[in-house]
């Protein structure tokens, strides 16, 4: 069955090469209409899976995808080309351009933390590029996954898009097929499995992976502004965000004031009447028991090795509730500094000189994002030139994700390739180089044997 659908998708992908762009635009318009008509159902599924607050679901899941669709609708013609290129003197008389063509059949594998947008967002790029698609949503968010299956069945034909639900074994089966492109969003560990499987068929890959995103607050920066933005970026979706601040470096002279502001901001955001962090509707839940235990272990290990609890720290495995938690007195031997936290625990570290922080970032795996709060241009420049990351954001957190003119992705262990907007379109496209020569004309004679007649002037 799967192979039959795969072959049908190959046939459809061939047709997509010559069918008008309007067909792709129509598919995108149908997708957009469905999302708009089913907004409440999408929110409900996200609530069932992650107790996601509806405003958060709206901003980070549905609105994000609708924005991606609108951007593609507006720009598809321009992205597709042809894009003429300049003619170098040696090629005088020829014409050349780049024409984007669909790669063919794509596999999109998505994670559970933003189960709608991280599945449907790449789908928008794949449809815009003219690919046929196999979608594999995460098995850990079954309500969202079932809704995505319904969406696809109601909006697309199986030869255009097909959903495969299930866990590791389903993905392993799919990975045996010779996809033209695999777009994977998930952990670094599974990213390696995907790349290995892709190598067997030489499928190209986009890997959107994880990492530890550091935040640095320069000495002279407005601490209140930093606290507000860090709390929002970290605790949205209970810290289960790939680009969430992982840990914070603050100058030792600002430390006490910053901690008070951070706690104040945290309480104002999620515990306004001091009824407890589990009482607000604006704070979701951890995806499952395994992740609850993982986070509990991280916190216990840190505390056993001397970390101090500043705020939060309560959790209930039964309710999958883990309070927003701040800790300090951090040391490198703690597990929490070795792996991506991916949950609502924020370690706060101090520094004496920015050089120490830069060195610390350089010594770790390259992160998806580095966040620097500073008023000084030379500090921006220091981090831009001396640290490597998928993105660098000055004076805010997480907002780079929604800038649809900025390619999104990681570097090294945090990923490879880029998604969103035109970069997403290009991930699923082959930029074909087309060159036209005139009949009866050649490049300079020296390229034709017998050689050695006119070699003067060669480098």
Chain residues binding ligand NAD by CB under 6 A are: 109-113, 118, 136, 138-139, 167-168, 171-172, 185-187, 190, 193, 208-210, 242, 340, 342, 368, 410, 415
Q: CA 381, CA 3: separation in Å to the nearest integer? A: 52
Taking the complex as a whole, the smallest distance from the CB of residue 141 to ligand NAD amounts, in Å, to 9
Nearer to ligand NAD, 186 or 284 (CB): 186
429-436/132-136 β-pairing: unpaired
CA torsion angle 14 20 21 25 (round to 10): -100
Nearer to ligand NAD, 173 or 282 (CB): 173
Burial zone of 163 (CB within 10 Å; 0-12 exposed, 13-18 middle, 19+ buried): buried
Is the Cβ of residue 157 or residue 170 nearer to ligand NAD in the bound state? 170
Q: How long, in residues, is the chain?
A: 459
Cβ 408 to ligand NAD shortest distance, Å: 7
Shortest Å distance, C-beta 122 to ligand NAD = 10
| Cβ at position 233, least distance to ligand NAD in Å | 14
Minimal distance in Å, beta carbon 437 to ligand NAD? Answer: 43
Q: How far is the CB of 73 from ligand NAD (least distance, A)?
A: 23
Catalytic site residues?
208, 242
Report residue 110 as tokens.
Answer: 């998505």
Per the CB < 8 A criterion, the answer to whether 402 and 378 are in contact is: no
List the beta strands (DSSP E) in 170-217: 181-185, 204-208, 213-217
Cβ atoms of 437 and 94 closer than 8 Å = yes
Structure tokens that stand for 225 in this block: 């502004």
If the CB atoms of residues 167 and 272 are measured against ligand NAD, the closer one turns out to be 167
What minimum distance in Å lies between the beta carbon of 258 and ligand NAD? 26
Token duo for residue 74: 């507006």
Kindly tell me which of 53 and 137 has the beta carbon lying closer to ligand NAD.
137
Nearer to ligand NAD among residue 102 and residue 186 (C-beta): 186
Residue 58 per-residue DSSP state: I
- Cα 380 to Cα 372: distance, rounded to the nearest angstrom: 7
Supply φ then ψ for residue 450, to 5 degrees: -70, 135
Instruction: Read off the tokens for 325.
Output: 């938690």
With a CB cutoff of 8 Å and minimum separation 6, the contacts of 421 are 68, 71, 72, 75, 404, 405, 406, 407
Q: Which is nearer to ligand NAD, 54 or 288 (CB)?
A: 288
| Structural element, H or E, at residue 244 | none
Rg for the chain, CA atoms, rounded = 25
Torsion of CA 124, 125, 129, 133, to 10 degrees: -70
Task: Return the SS3 of 138.
Answer: coil
């Amino acid at each position: 069955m799967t192979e039959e659908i795969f072959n049908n998708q190959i046939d459809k992908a061939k047709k997509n090469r010559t069918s008008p762009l309007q067909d792709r635009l129509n598919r995108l318009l149908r997708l957009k209409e469905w999302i708009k008509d089913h907004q409440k159902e999408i929110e409900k599924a996200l609530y069932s899976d992650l107790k996601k607050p509806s405003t958060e679901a709206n901003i980070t899941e549905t609105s994000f995808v609708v924005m991606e669709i609108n951007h593609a609708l507006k720009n598809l013609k321009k992205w597709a080309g042809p894009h003429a290129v300049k003619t170098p003197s040696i090629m005088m008389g020829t014409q050349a351009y780049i024409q984007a063509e669909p790669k063919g059949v794509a596999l999109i594998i998505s994670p559970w933390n933003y189960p709608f947008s991280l599945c449907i967002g790449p789908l928008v790029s794949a449809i815009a590029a003219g690919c046929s698609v196999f979608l594999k949503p995460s098995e850990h968010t079954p309500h969202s996954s079932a809704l995505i299956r319904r969406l696809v069945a109601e909006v697309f034909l199986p030869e255009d898009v097909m959903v495969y639900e299930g866990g590791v074994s389903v993905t392993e089966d799919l990975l045996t097929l010779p996809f033209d492109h695999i777009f994977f969003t998930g952990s670094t560990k599974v990213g390696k499995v995907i790349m290995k499987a892709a190598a067997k068929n030489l499928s190209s890959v986009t890997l959107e992976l994880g990492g530890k995103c550091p935040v640095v607050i320069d000495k002279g920066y407005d601490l209140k502004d930093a606290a507000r933005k860090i709390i929002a970026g970290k605790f949205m979706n209970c810290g289960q965000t790939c680009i969430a601040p992982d840990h914070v470096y603050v100058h030792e002279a600002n430390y006490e004031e910053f901690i008070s502001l951070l706690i104040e901001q945290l309480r104002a955001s999620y515990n306004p009447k001091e009824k407890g962090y589990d009482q607000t509707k604006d704070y979701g839940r951890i995806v499952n028991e395994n992740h609850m235990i993982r986070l509990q272990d991280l916190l216990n290990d840190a505390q056993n090795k001397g970390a101090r609890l500043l705020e939060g720290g309560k959790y209930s495995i039964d309710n999958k509730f883990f309070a927003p938690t701040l800790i300090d007195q951090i040391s490198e031997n703690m597990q929490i500094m070795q792996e991506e936290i991916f949950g609502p625990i924020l370690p706060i570290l101090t520094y004496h000189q920015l050089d120490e922080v830069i060195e610390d970032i350089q010594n770790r795996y390259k992160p998806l994002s580095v966040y620097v709060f500073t008023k000084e241009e030379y500090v921006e420049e220091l981090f831009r030139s001396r640290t490597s990351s998928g993105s660098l954001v000055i004076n805010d957190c997480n907002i780079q994700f929604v800038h649809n003119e900025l390619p999104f992705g990681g570097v090294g262990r945090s990923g490879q390739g880029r998604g969103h907007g035109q970069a997403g379109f290009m991930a699923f496209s082959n930029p074909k180089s087309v060159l036209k020569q005139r009949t009866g004309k050649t490049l300079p004679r020296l390229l034709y044997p017998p050689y050695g007649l006119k070699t003067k002037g060669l480098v």
